[in-house]
Amino acid sequence: MSGSDARRRIKGAAGIAVLATLAGCLSGAFAAPQAAAVPAAIPDAAFAPGWAKSGPLRTFTGQDLFNQIDGGAELFLEFGFVRLRLQAYARGRSELTLNAYEMEGAASALGIYLMKMGRETPFPEVAARNSSEDVQLTVLKGRYFIQVDNLGDAPATRAEAAALANAFLAGAADEPAATPLDALPAGGRRPGSERLIRGPYGLQPYFTFGEGDILSLGGRVFGALAEYRVPESGSFTRLVVPYPGPDAATAALAHLRANLDPYLKVSGERLDGFDFVDHQSKRGQVTLAGAVLDIRFNCAR
């Protein structure tokens, strides 16, 4: 091992030790859904002058979501979908539609929001974190992921769309979102690349380690990933998964190693994990420390 490789290994080990300590404190919080809350009320039409409800309130629960979302329900269900309430409003040829997705808890809603926000472009008049454009507001508050669609023949004003969102947000409680995002080191991290992972549908856009629930998340454990650019290491994606305990993390590592996708070639075995190379000759590394799996992939200089 070269001197530079040794220094990187020591620095990496120090980072893993921090992650292991963090996991011991917080991993239980990542795994458990938050207690049920009273659903936020659907606004009446008084959010702006001249508007009226258009059609009845529609509610979707569980697998019913497939009847409303074409090709996207799996991700919501994986993150812990509870219900979708959909209400349309009209004023002449203008129409606004409120889509209020209630999730198991704030971490689940944040996971969906990060997947859906694109390049985050907030409207300051919306009273919560949001990424919005004229045709759709995408909003996060507590356990709610909210979209306001502005797709009428005559578009509503931006102020009217924001007023509808704010009318719903006024009844939605703020809730803390305990996630492993804080375990991702800040140095070299590309802002806006942070994501939460809770199963194969969330992981699929970023990397394929194998079929099914390859990381043994079980629809309960959250992982966090982000893209990095570090001068001494080049670019890579880092995924940190704190499990409920060391035994669960050890079993997850064994399952990953035994079921690794055939296109990933193992290039080195270690007591605490393994190294691999993908079909594009990009390197990767899986390291176990306590209750944490720390995974790097798409490594390139």
Higher pLDDT, residue 120 or 33: 120
- Say if residue 248's pLDDT is above 60: yes
The reported pLDDT for the residue numbered 300 is 86
Q: Which amino acid type is present at position 125? A: E
**114 within 8 A of 196, measured Cβ to Cβ:** yes
- Say if residue 30's pLDDT is above 60: no
Closest C-alpha to 128, from 170, 65, 68, 178: 170
Cα-Cα-Cα-Cα torsion 175, 180, 184, 189, nearest 10 degrees, comes to -50
What DSSP element (H or E) covers 293? strand 292-300
**141 within 8 A of 169, measured Cβ to Cβ:** yes
Rounded to two decimals, the pTM is: 0.87
Residues 111-138: tens digit of each pLDDT = 999 999 999 999 999 999 999 999 999 9
Mean pLDDT across 8-24: 44
Q: How far apart are CA 299 and CA 237, in angstroms?
A: 7
Residues 57-102: tens digit of each pLDDT = 999 999 999 999 877 899 999 999 999 999 999 999 999 999 999 9
* DSSP codes of every residue in 215-246: T--TTT--EEEEEEEETTTEEEEEEEEE-SSH
Domains (range + CATH), the chain = 3-32+179-300 (3.40.1000), 45-169 (3.40.1000.70)
- Say if residue 29's pLDDT is above 90: no
Cα–Cα–Cα angle for 260, 63, 149, nearest 5°? 100
**What does each C-alpha distance from 276 to 83, 146, 246 come to in angstroms?**
40, 40, 23
CB neighbour list of residue 177: distance below 8 Å, 6 or more residues apart: 105, 106, 107, 109, 110
The reported pLDDT for the residue numbered 112 is 98
Closest C-alpha to 89, from 59, 58, 55, 134: 55
Tokens of 144: 């709610």
CB neighbour list of residue 38: distance below 8 Å, 6 or more residues apart: none
The reported pLDDT for the residue numbered 200 is 96
The reported pLDDT for the residue numbered 95 is 98
Tokens of 293: 């799996």
**242 within 8 A of 178, measured Cβ to Cβ:** no
- Say if residue 9's pLDDT is above 80: no
* DSSP codes of every residue in 79-109: HTEEEEEEEEEEETTEEEEEEEEEESSHHHH
Closest C-alpha to 88, from 102, 100, 76, 73: 100
